[in-house]
Chains A and B, each alone.
Chain A
Amino acid sequence: GAGVSQSPSNKVTEKGKDVELRCDPISGHTALYWYRQSLGQGLEFLIYFQGNSAPDKSGLPSDRFSAERTGGSVSTLTIQRTQQEDSAVYLCASRHWGGRVETQYFGPGTRLLVL
Protein backbone atom coordinates (compact mmCIF):
# COMPACT_ATOMS: atom_id res chain seq x y z
CA GLY A 1 0.00 0.00 0.00
CA ALA A 2 0.89 3.65 -0.19
CA GLY A 3 1.39 4.09 3.53
CA VAL A 4 1.39 2.33 6.88
CA SER A 5 -2.05 1.12 7.86
CA GLN A 6 -3.31 0.06 11.27
CA SER A 7 -6.45 -1.62 12.47
CA PRO A 8 -8.70 -1.17 14.23
CA SER A 9 -8.78 2.63 14.38
CA ASN A 10 -10.44 2.52 17.75
CA LYS A 11 -10.87 -0.27 20.26
CA VAL A 12 -12.87 -0.22 23.47
CA THR A 13 -12.46 -3.22 25.72
CA GLU A 14 -13.15 -4.27 29.24
CA LYS A 15 -10.44 -4.69 31.80
CA GLY A 16 -9.06 -8.22 31.73
CA LYS A 17 -9.81 -8.91 28.07
CA ASP A 18 -7.14 -9.55 25.45
CA VAL A 19 -6.73 -7.29 22.42
CA GLU A 20 -4.85 -7.57 19.13
CA LEU A 21 -3.66 -4.57 17.19
CA ARG A 22 -2.55 -4.91 13.61
CA CYS A 23 0.03 -3.02 11.56
CA ASP A 24 0.55 -3.26 7.82
CA PRO A 25 3.85 -1.55 6.92
CA ILE A 26 4.87 0.02 3.66
CA SER A 27 5.70 -2.68 1.14
CA GLY A 28 9.39 -3.49 1.13
CA HIS A 29 10.14 -1.90 4.51
CA THR A 30 12.07 -4.45 6.53
CA ALA A 31 12.13 -2.48 9.78
CA LEU A 32 8.92 -2.08 11.79
CA TYR A 33 8.41 -0.27 15.09
CA TRP A 34 5.67 -0.06 17.69
CA TYR A 35 5.30 3.02 19.87
CA ARG A 36 2.74 4.03 22.45
CA GLN A 37 1.44 7.48 23.22
CA SER A 38 -0.39 7.95 26.47
CA LEU A 39 -1.38 10.98 28.48
CA GLY A 40 1.45 12.04 30.71
CA GLN A 41 3.94 9.64 29.15
CA GLY A 42 4.48 11.09 25.71
CA LEU A 43 5.61 8.85 22.87
CA GLU A 44 7.50 5.77 23.98
CA PHE A 45 9.16 2.95 22.08
CA LEU A 46 7.80 -0.56 22.59
CA ILE A 47 9.45 -3.00 20.19
CA TYR A 48 11.33 -3.10 16.92
CA PHE A 49 11.39 -5.77 14.18
CA GLN A 50 14.00 -6.38 11.53
CA GLY A 51 12.31 -8.81 9.18
CA ASN A 52 10.50 -11.29 11.42
CA SER A 53 12.97 -10.98 14.28
CA ALA A 54 12.64 -8.60 17.21
CA PRO A 55 16.17 -7.57 18.23
CA ASP A 56 14.86 -5.00 20.71
CA LYS A 57 11.84 -5.64 22.92
CA SER A 58 13.09 -3.45 25.73
CA GLY A 59 10.16 -1.05 25.62
CA LEU A 60 7.43 -3.61 26.27
CA PRO A 61 6.04 -2.56 29.66
CA SER A 62 5.20 -6.03 30.97
CA ASP A 63 4.90 -9.67 29.97
CA ARG A 64 1.26 -9.03 29.12
CA PHE A 65 2.54 -7.36 25.95
CA SER A 66 3.83 -9.37 23.01
CA ALA A 67 4.26 -8.83 19.29
CA GLU A 68 5.00 -10.87 16.27
CA ARG A 69 5.66 -10.29 12.63
CA THR A 70 5.12 -12.79 9.87
CA GLY A 71 6.35 -12.89 6.30
CA GLY A 72 8.41 -9.79 6.95
CA SER A 73 5.25 -7.77 6.61
CA VAL A 74 2.21 -7.58 8.90
CA SER A 75 2.78 -7.25 12.62
CA THR A 76 0.40 -7.89 15.49
CA LEU A 77 0.73 -6.39 18.96
CA THR A 78 -1.16 -8.38 21.57
CA ILE A 79 -2.05 -7.15 25.03
CA GLN A 80 -3.31 -9.82 27.40
CA ARG A 81 -5.47 -9.17 30.45
CA THR A 82 -5.74 -5.47 29.63
CA GLN A 83 -5.53 -2.90 32.40
CA GLN A 84 -6.83 0.65 32.45
CA GLU A 85 -3.29 1.99 32.27
CA ASP A 86 -2.94 0.31 28.86
CA SER A 87 -5.30 2.94 27.43
CA ALA A 88 -3.30 4.86 24.86
CA VAL A 89 -2.76 5.40 21.16
CA TYR A 90 -0.61 2.63 19.70
CA LEU A 91 1.42 3.75 16.72
CA CYS A 92 3.25 1.64 14.20
CA ALA A 93 6.03 2.85 11.93
CA SER A 94 8.15 1.32 9.21
CA ARG A 95 11.26 2.25 7.33
CA HIS A 96 13.44 1.03 4.55
CA TRP A 97 16.66 -0.44 5.89
CA GLY A 98 19.89 0.46 4.13
CA GLY A 99 20.51 3.25 1.67
CA ARG A 100 20.13 6.89 2.53
CA VAL A 101 16.42 6.97 3.38
CA GLU A 102 16.27 6.90 7.17
CA THR A 103 12.78 8.27 7.70
CA GLN A 104 10.27 6.33 9.78
CA TYR A 105 6.74 6.52 8.38
CA PHE A 106 3.90 6.26 10.84
CA GLY A 107 0.44 4.80 10.58
CA PRO A 108 -2.71 6.54 11.85
CA GLY A 109 -2.62 4.66 15.14
CA THR A 110 -5.07 2.57 17.13
CA ARG A 111 -6.77 4.32 20.02
CA LEU A 112 -7.29 1.78 22.80
CA LEU A 113 -9.62 2.47 25.71
CA VAL A 114 -9.77 -0.03 28.54
CA LEU A 115 -12.83 0.39 30.73
Chain B
Amino acid sequence: SQQGEEDPQALSIQEGENATMNCSYKTSINNLQWYRQNSGRGLVHLILIRSNEREKHSGRLRVTLDTSKKSSSLLITASRAADTASYFCATDGRETSGSRLTFGEGTQLTVNP
Protein backbone atom coordinates (compact mmCIF):
# COMPACT_ATOMS: atom_id res chain seq x y z
CA SER B 1 0.00 0.00 0.00
CA GLN B 2 1.12 3.55 -0.63
CA GLN B 3 2.13 5.38 2.49
CA GLY B 4 3.79 8.32 0.84
CA GLU B 5 2.03 11.32 -0.50
CA GLU B 6 3.36 13.75 -3.01
CA ASP B 7 2.19 17.14 -3.96
CA PRO B 8 1.35 18.54 -6.26
CA GLN B 9 -0.09 15.63 -8.22
CA ALA B 10 0.53 17.58 -11.40
CA LEU B 11 2.73 20.57 -12.16
CA SER B 12 3.01 22.52 -15.40
CA ILE B 13 5.73 25.13 -15.85
CA GLN B 14 7.63 26.97 -18.57
CA GLU B 15 11.11 26.01 -19.64
CA GLY B 16 13.69 27.79 -17.51
CA GLU B 17 11.51 27.93 -14.41
CA ASN B 18 12.18 25.96 -11.26
CA ALA B 19 10.00 23.01 -10.26
CA THR B 20 9.45 21.96 -6.66
CA MET B 21 7.83 18.68 -5.65
CA ASN B 22 7.09 17.58 -2.10
CA CYS B 23 6.84 14.18 -0.51
CA SER B 24 5.55 13.12 2.89
CA TYR B 25 5.91 9.74 4.55
CA LYS B 26 4.76 8.06 7.71
CA THR B 27 7.46 5.88 9.24
CA SER B 28 11.10 6.13 10.29
CA ILE B 29 13.43 5.72 7.36
CA ASN B 30 16.97 4.71 6.50
CA ASN B 31 16.95 6.78 3.34
CA LEU B 32 14.67 8.43 0.82
CA GLN B 33 15.16 8.13 -2.92
CA TRP B 34 13.76 10.12 -5.84
CA TYR B 35 13.05 8.50 -9.20
CA ARG B 36 11.90 9.72 -12.59
CA GLN B 37 9.63 7.75 -14.89
CA ASN B 38 8.99 8.48 -18.53
CA SER B 39 5.91 7.14 -20.28
CA GLY B 40 5.03 4.64 -17.54
CA ARG B 41 8.08 2.48 -17.97
CA GLY B 42 11.31 1.98 -16.01
CA LEU B 43 12.32 4.17 -13.11
CA VAL B 44 15.49 6.19 -13.36
CA HIS B 45 17.24 6.85 -10.07
CA LEU B 46 17.90 10.53 -9.46
CA ILE B 47 19.21 10.97 -5.95
CA LEU B 48 19.33 9.29 -2.53
CA ILE B 49 19.39 11.14 0.77
CA ARG B 50 20.12 9.35 4.02
CA SER B 51 18.18 9.94 7.22
CA ASN B 52 21.11 11.80 8.79
CA GLU B 53 21.42 14.19 5.85
CA ARG B 54 19.40 17.36 5.43
CA GLU B 55 20.25 18.50 1.91
CA LYS B 56 21.88 17.06 -1.16
CA HIS B 57 22.69 18.38 -4.61
CA SER B 58 23.23 16.67 -7.94
CA GLY B 59 23.56 18.88 -10.99
CA ARG B 60 20.27 20.81 -11.33
CA LEU B 61 18.65 18.75 -8.57
CA ARG B 62 18.42 19.72 -4.94
CA VAL B 63 16.80 17.46 -2.36
CA THR B 64 15.99 18.32 1.21
CA LEU B 65 14.90 16.02 4.01
CA ASP B 66 13.16 16.95 7.25
CA THR B 67 12.84 13.82 9.37
CA SER B 68 11.01 15.68 12.14
CA LYS B 69 8.24 16.52 9.68
CA LYS B 70 8.68 13.30 7.71
CA SER B 71 8.91 15.22 4.47
CA SER B 72 11.23 15.78 1.54
CA SER B 73 11.33 18.12 -1.40
CA LEU B 74 12.87 17.85 -4.84
CA LEU B 75 13.84 21.05 -6.63
CA ILE B 76 14.72 21.03 -10.31
CA THR B 77 16.31 24.29 -11.35
CA ALA B 78 16.30 25.80 -14.84
CA SER B 79 13.88 23.18 -16.11
CA ARG B 80 13.99 21.82 -19.64
CA ALA B 81 11.34 20.22 -21.82
CA ALA B 82 13.24 16.93 -21.41
CA ASP B 83 12.48 17.05 -17.65
CA THR B 84 8.84 16.28 -18.47
CA ALA B 85 8.12 13.03 -16.61
CA SER B 86 6.57 11.58 -13.48
CA TYR B 87 8.63 11.93 -10.32
CA PHE B 88 8.35 9.55 -7.37
CA CYS B 89 9.77 9.56 -3.91
CA ALA B 90 10.45 6.21 -2.27
CA THR B 91 11.38 5.44 1.30
CA ASP B 92 13.54 2.64 2.67
CA GLY B 93 11.84 2.19 6.02
CA ARG B 94 13.63 1.12 9.16
CA GLU B 95 10.85 -1.34 9.93
CA THR B 96 10.59 -2.94 6.51
CA SER B 97 12.61 -5.95 5.54
CA GLY B 98 15.33 -6.06 2.95
CA SER B 99 15.23 -2.33 2.19
CA ARG B 100 12.16 -2.69 0.05
CA LEU B 101 10.88 0.68 -1.11
CA THR B 102 7.54 2.30 -0.37
CA PHE B 103 6.55 4.75 -3.08
CA GLY B 104 4.61 7.97 -3.09
CA GLU B 105 1.83 8.67 -5.54
CA GLY B 106 4.04 10.65 -7.86
CA THR B 107 4.03 14.12 -9.41
CA GLN B 108 3.47 14.54 -13.13
CA LEU B 109 5.72 17.38 -14.28
CA THR B 110 5.16 19.05 -17.64
CA VAL B 111 7.74 21.55 -18.85
CA ASN B 112 6.47 23.60 -21.74
CA PRO B 113 9.02 24.81 -24.32
Q: What is the interface of chain A, defined by CB distance below 8 A to chain B?
A: 31, 33, 35, 37, 41-45, 48, 50, 55-56, 59, 89, 91, 93, 95, 102-109, 111
A107 touching B42, Cβ below 8 Å: yes
The answer on a CB contact under 8 Å between B98 and A106 is: no
Evaluate whether A103 and B33 lie within 8 angstroms (CB atoms) in the complex, with A43-B88, A108-B42 already known. yes
Could you count the A-B residue pairs with CB atoms below 8 Å apart for me: how many are there? Answer: 68
Contacts of A45 in B (CB 8 A): 100-102
Evaluate contact between A42 and B98: CB separation under 8 angstroms: no
Interface range on chain B: under 10, 10 to 19, 20 to 34, or 35 or more?
Answer: 20 to 34
**Which label, helix, strand, loop or mixed, suits the secondary structure of the B interface?**
strand
CA distance A109 to B42 in the complex (A): 6
- B interface residue numbers (CB < 8 A to A): 1-2, 30-31, 33, 35, 40-45, 48, 50, 88, 90, 92, 97-106
